[in-house]
Amino acid sequence: MSSTDFDCRYCGDRMRIRTSKQLHPDYRKLYLECRNPDCRAKARAEFVVTATLSPSGRPNPNYQEKLAEHVPWQCTAEST
C-alpha cells in the first residue's frame, strides 16, 4: 500500500503510511504521519473496497461479501 498518497490537511505535505491493520478482506485501517519534519501530524484513514468490478478467475470459497456488517461507518456526507 505504499503507493497510496495522502496530503496532510494541516501543512499540505505528503503523509506516509506508518502501519495498517486489515480488519476484513475489504477493509483496512491506515495510520498516517506527515513527512514534513516541522508538522509531523498523525491521522487515521480507512481503506475500503466498495465493489467488485470484475470477478476473480480464482475465487476464494471462504470469502463472503458481508462488508457492511463489519465496517464502522462514521461519515455522514460523501466527499466529492
pLDDT at 76: 42
- Whether 6 is in a domain gets the answer yes
- Whether 65 is in a domain gets the answer no
pLDDT at 27: 85
- Whether 63 is in a domain gets the answer no
pLDDT at 8: 97
pLDDT at 1: 43
Total domains, the chain? 1
Cell of 73: 461507518
Domain range for residue 28? 1-51
Cell of 37: 519534519
Per run of 10 residues, the mean pLDDT along the chain (length 80 residues) is 78 96 87 97 90 88 71 48
- Whether 64 is in a domain gets the answer no
pLDDT at 51: 79
pLDDT at 73: 57
- Whether 28 is in a domain gets the answer yes
**Distance separating alpha carbons of residues 40 and 59, to the nearest angstrom:** 41
